[in-house]
Amino acid sequence: MQSTFGIGFLGAGPVTQSIHLPTLARLGDAFAIRHITDVDPAVAEAVAGRVGAAHSTSTEALLDDPAVDVVAICSPNSFHAEQLIAACRAGKKAVLCEKPLAMSAAQADAITAVSAETGVPIMVGAMHTFDPGWRAAVAHWGDLPASSHTIRLSVVLPPNARFEDVATEVLSRSPFPAPDWSDVEVLAAMIHGGVMGLAIHDLPLIRRLLPRYDDLQVIDAKFLAPFGYRILFVAGGKSIELHAMVSQTWQPDWVLEAFSDDQVLHVEFTPSYVHAGSAVSTLTTSDSARVFGPATVNGYEAEWRELAAILRGELAPPSTRDLVDDVRFALTVADAAAEALRKAEVAA
């Protein structure tokens, strides 16, 4: 039985540098980084040099590298599906794809097909779904998915650099965009991007609380400058509010709440990038509160540990159908929010 698995990274930006490399430094018994690919050859070489890996600028070079057992896709969102499909067809042992898994329904269909065709285990790096604090709450929440009637996600964050810079020393950081706020299509694209780039962390969690979303209806969608959104939608008989704001505050506040008549779930997540332990979840009723977490392991470490268990045959891989349903749900929210914003702007 192979005990250590070689990893190749497609994309060596801040997420690879400040999240995955420091996490994998804790997991040397299970993984070794063998190959780093980036479109910028200097970045690929510099990041590979930190971990003693090979480097290249093409997907093909990484997929042809026999030392790579597991492909980690950390490229821009629009490349995820294409690279995932190529990795599966290349006969790799597993693929870990950063969220979102896909950016269109057609891509989601193609991923479903390649999963059935190749059987390669696919994981999505939605770290909150692996977070021990969240999972403990799920194990104890009883009938909350059926009984909850109101769900709220609020994410208030400083710019990523505040955390990236204490997780590693980052190369090649992209500047924060300065779009034309007066263009409705720019706003629609920003809110779509907000859902697929930020809310995406927790939409799989919200989907666990929804019996259905085929009746999803966005009631209101607003883009909040400099970067944020407020989206209100109903689905499966529940009202769901998604709120986010990235500002210059030093204080992160990342909270998911679900309310039923007699139970409330409150989950406080730690910020990405830094290893600040797991979320803390609280399940409250009128006469008690049960607290889960914090654990020392955060969602990123948990997701890699779970991948190791899958590769060793100790754990079944996640259902690709569930992962694809997660991204279909996210796309449904993103598309409907963008359309609601367009209509509101035209009406105004």
Partner 1 sequence: MSNVRTTLATLPMSFPDPADVVFVDGDPSWPAELERAIRSGATGIVLVHPTPVDFDLLTADTIVVVDSPWASNPVNGLAAQAFRAAATNGARVECRVITPPGSDFATALLDQLALIRAVLGPVMKVQVRHLSDRALHAEGLTNLSVAVDFSIVCTTALPASASLRLLTSDGSVELTIPSGDTALPARLITVGPDGAVLAPTQYENGHRSSLRRLRELQATGSADGSAELRRLQADVVTTTAALGDHLRERNAVR
Q: Choose which of 2, 174, 182, 251 interacts with partner 1 (CB under 8 A).
A: 251
- Decide: is 227 part of the binding site for partner 1 (CB under 8 A): no
Whether residue 306 contacts residue 130, with contact meaning beta carbons closer than 8 Å, is answered with: yes
Task: Give 188-210 as a DSSP string.
Answer: HHHHHHHHHHTGGGTHHHHHHT-
CA distances from 95 to 3, 9, 39, 248 (A): 17, 10, 20, 35
285 Ramachandran zone, left/alpha/beta (phi>0; psi -120 to 50): beta
CB of 283 to partner 1, least distance (A): 9
Shortest reach from residue 32's CB to partner 1, in Å: 42
Number of residues binding to partner 1, judged by CB under 8 A? 29
* Residue 314 lies near partner 1 (rule: CB under 8 A): no
Using rule CB under 8 A, residue 255 touches partner 1: no
Contacts of 111 (CB under 8 A, 6+ apart): 81, 84, 85, 101, 102, 122, 320, 323, 324
281 binding partner 1? (CB under 8 A): no
- Closest to partner 1 by CB, 172 or 247: 247
When the beta carbons of 165 and 241 are compared against partner 1, the nearer one is: 241
Report d(CA 309, CA 302) in Å as an integer: 11
CB of 249 to partner 1, least distance (A): 5
Stretch that binds partner 1, among 203-211, 231-239, 309-317, 326-334 (CB under 8 A): 231-239
Say whether residue 7 binds partner 1 (CB under 8 A).
no
346 contributes a contact to partner 1 by CB under 8 A: no
Q: Is 182 in the site for partner 1 (CB under 8 A)?
A: no
250: contact with partner 1 by CB under 8 A: yes
Structure tokens at 14: 């801040």
Check: CB of residue 73 under 8 Å from CB of residue 62.
no
What CA–CA distance (Å, rounded) separates 210 from 150? 10
Binding of residue 261 to partner 1 (CB under 8 A): yes
For CA atoms 271, 76, 130, 171, the dihedral sign is negative
Residue 93 CA to residue 60 CA, distance in Å, equals 16
Site for partner 1 contains 295 (CB under 8 A): no
Residue 265's DSSP bridge partners are 258, 283
In the bound state with partner 1, the residue whose beta carbon lies nearer, of 46 and 344, is 344
Which residues in the 115-154 window bind partner 1 by CB under 8 A?
Answer: 149-150, 152
E-only strand ranges, the chain: 5-10, 31-37, 54-56, 70-73, 94-97, 122-124, 150-157, 217-223, 227-235, 238-246, 253-259, 264-269, 280-284, 289-292
> Which member of 143, 169, 185, 220 binds partner 1 (CB under 8 A)?
220
Query: Does residue number 248 form part of the binding site for partner 1 (CB under 8 A)?
Result: yes
Nearer to partner 1, 151 or 310 (CB): 151
Does 343 bind partner 1 (CB under 8 A)? Our answer is: no
Q: Is 286 in the site for partner 1 (CB under 8 A)?
A: yes
Minimum distance of partner 1 from residue 261's CB (angstroms): 5
Given 186, 216, 234, 291, the residue binding partner 1 (CB under 8 A): 234
d(CA 169, CA 69): 27
CA-wise closest residue to 234 among 257, 217, 211, 214: 217
Give the residue with the Cβ less far from partner 1, 9 or 233.
233
**Which of 10-18, 43-51, 248-256, 318-326 is the region at the interface with partner 1 (rule: CB under 8 A)?**
248-256
Residue 224 found at the interface with partner 1 (CB under 8 A): yes
Q: Kindly tell me the number of DSSP H helices and DSSP E strands found in the chain.
A: 14, 14
DSSP secondary structure, 26-47, as one string: T-TTTEEEEEEE-SSHHHHHHH
**Minimal distance in Å, beta carbon 250 to partner 1?**
7
Binding footprint of partner 1 on the chain (CB under 8 A): 149-150, 152, 156, 219-220, 224-225, 230, 232, 234, 239, 241, 243, 245, 247-251, 259-264, 284-286
